Structure 1
Amino acid sequence: MREQIPHHDPVQVPVDVPPAHVIDSEPESPEIPELPEPDEPAQPSEGVVTDKAPVKRNGFNRRGFRFSTPLGDIAIAVRTPKQQPVVPKWFDPLGLTDRAVDAAKTGLKLAAWGEEQVVTYVKNRLDAVEPTPRPLPQPEASPHDSLHTKLGRLLDRALDQSTAGSQQELYHRLLDQLVADEARIIGALSDGTSSPLVNIYSRSRNQVVLQNACLIGRTANVALPHMVPQYVDHLLSLGLVETGPEDPSKKSDYEVLMAEPMVLKAVKGASKGPLIARTEKLSLSLSTLGMGLWAAAVADG
């Protein structure tokens, strides 16, 4: 008996491949060795920047600006959301609103930075300024000091003072004794001009009825015109003004002065019947001391 040979379907072999090299079996897939799975890195906490996992920016566009200022260079980064614009795109297709918001934020940051720089600069300048030493208070004269003590204190001060210092002290003392109207009179005479002045005497008793009536009160525009004779008398006692002879070039000014109500009243009161009051006409001008006081006060200002 013949042994039956199992029937196999014919295998289609390409023409250029010899039949002996064709194996009728399923191809074996190459084995790939399994690699150990790497350990998953620990997720960093939110907000912490590491080399392996940077902080998630949540879809923000970042723009950088650099400015050069006299105080130094500054750099500012501005973030804007990518997917959530302030105004919907169909209302603002060019994104002008987002840009305006970015510009406003940048302006606020610049203002805050500028304020900080100014405060720092002012603080450094104030720290660099040395405090001015306060002058030592001079001991005030006690009302119980004896005359000898006061005189000794003045003599000691005279030894320490120079000529300029003594002159300044004198001017200060003189100014402390003046009122505002008297200062106006000195200012009106400071240009070197003179002012008419008259004294009214009674012929019967040869007494002074009105003294130092002067037209300078009107020229200086004093607040109390009726106090001009007292002002002039005080300035004469301080040596700041002086009287001189009548100035013939001011004849019209003397006529105006004689028509003043104060002068007319004094002339009427000093006249007795046919005896008319005697009038003395003089001129008032600033003395050398007054000129020095005015020049020192103006130069010191």
Structure 2
Amino acid sequence: MDADANNEGKSRFTVLFAKVSHAAQRQYERAEAHVLTQLRARMDRLERPKALTYLSDTSTTPTSAHGQAHFESSLPSRMAALMERADTQDRIAALDDLFHHVLDQLVPDEIRILGALSDGASFALIHAGYAPRIGPMTRRLIENFCPIGKPAGVKLLEYVPAYISHLRELGLVETGPEDPAQDIKYQILESDVAIREALEAEQKGVGMTAKYLRRTLSMSEFGHQFWDTCTGQNPTP
């Protein structure tokens, strides 16, 4: 009798526990569904990013400042538009397209660097690396180290070398030979803590020594044409 009563008690407890667990699970699912509903409602109220709108909705295609479409419904249609423009544009229109394309690739800090060079100024620039005791540099570690950042008002000074590399790739700036008149500036660059630490962090080979390549940074002829046109000093290239 005691065993039967005990088993009956266990059975009732099991049934009761199952009911409670089932009720708790249903309550949790209802709460979860409510939270998800609220989250979806909030997301729906947010403004869709313009870039996503452009990609998903071709009925309103954004255009650039000179009237050329940035987004098309397909690659062939974009190619057809470019081919048609290539057949009809003159030199001025071609330069306009080129300058717009270059300008779209720049960030404000890079514009600041161009502004500092626009009056024809040149800045000391060095590359640093390792070389045999006799001979040219064979392993370059640091490129385009230049003090132009502060006078130009660059906000991200640590990215000045990367900015200069990008501007060189675009053909807007160029490097030239060492300027002996800026010897003091070269010495300051070569003794910079960041340069020293970067060189010391790398393992030197046997018979290798730290070496610096002194150059100058200035605006290229194309850079001057681009700057004058974009700033309105030469509106008709």
TM-score by length of 1: 0.49
- AA partner of residue 212 (structure 2): T
How far did 1:232 drift?
A: 0.5
- AA partner of residue 202 (structure 1): Y
- AA partner of residue 223 (structure 2): G
**Which residue of structure 1 lines up, in the alignment, with residue 87 of structure 2?**
159
- AA partner of residue 195 (structure 1): F
2:119 counterpart of 1:178:
no
Aligned pair partner of 1:221 in 145, 150, 153: 153
User: Is the CA contact (8 Å cut-off) linking 1:200 and 1:278 kept in structure 2?
Assistant: yes
Instruction: Tell me, in whole angstroms, the C-alpha distance in 2 between the residues paired with 1:287 and 1:144.
Output: 37
**Which residue of structure 2 lines up, in the alignment, with residue 296 of structure 1?**
229
SS in 1 for 2:215: strand
User: Is the CA contact (8 Å cut-off) linking 2:173 and 2:219 kept in structure 1?
Assistant: yes
SS in 1 for 2:94: helix
**Which residue of structure 1 lines up, in the alignment, with residue 19 of structure 2?**
none
Instruction: Tell me, in whole angstroms, the C-alpha distance in 2 between the residues paired with 1:137 and 1:153.
Output: 12
- AA partner of residue 238 (structure 1): L
User: Is the CA contact (8 Å cut-off) linking 1:271 and 1:277 kept in structure 2?
Assistant: no
SS in 2 for 1:235: helix
TM-score by length of 2: 0.62
- AA partner of residue 247 (structure 1): D
**Structure number with bigger Rg:** 1
Instruction: Tell me, in whole angstroms, the C-alpha distance in 1 between the residues paired with 2:200 and 2:101.
Output: 40
- AA partner of residue 285 (structure 1): S
User: Is the CA contact (8 Å cut-off) linking 2:190 and 2:212 kept in structure 1?
Assistant: no
**Map of 1:69-88 to 2, 5 A cutoff?**
none
Q: For 1:139-174, what per-residue CA distance to the aligned partner results, in whole angstroms no more than 9, with x for missing partners?
A: 55436324xx54443221022222112112211111
Q: 1:262 to 1:294 in 2, by over 3 A?
A: same
**Which residue of structure 2 lines up, in the alignment, with residue 199 of structure 1?**
127
Aligned pair partner of 2:184 in 252, 267, 276: 252
Aligned pair partner of 2:216 in 273, 278, 283: 283
Instruction: Tell me, in whole angstroms, the C-alpha distance in 1 between the residues paired with 2:128 and 2:145.
Output: 9
**Which residue of structure 1 lines up, in the alignment, with residue 4 of structure 2?**
none
What 5-or-longer segments of structure 1 have no aligned partner? 1-134
User: Is the CA contact (8 Å cut-off) linking 1:202 and 1:271 kept in structure 2?
Assistant: no
Instruction: Tell me, in whole angstroms, the C-alpha distance in 2 between the residues paired with 1:181 and 1:163.
Output: 30
Instruction: Tell me, in whole angstroms, the C-alpha distance in 2 between the residues paired with 1:249 and 1:200.
Output: 20
Aligned pair partner of 2:197 in 265, 269, 280: 265
Q: How many residues align?
A: 165
What 5-or-longer segments of structure 2 have no aligned partner? 1-64
Q: 1:141 to 1:244 in 2, by over 3 A?
A: same
User: What is the percentage of aligned positions where both structures have the same residue?
Assistant: 35
**Which residue of structure 2 lines up, in the alignment, with residue 236 of structure 1?**
168
- AA partner of residue 74 (structure 2): H
SS in 2 for 1:236: helix
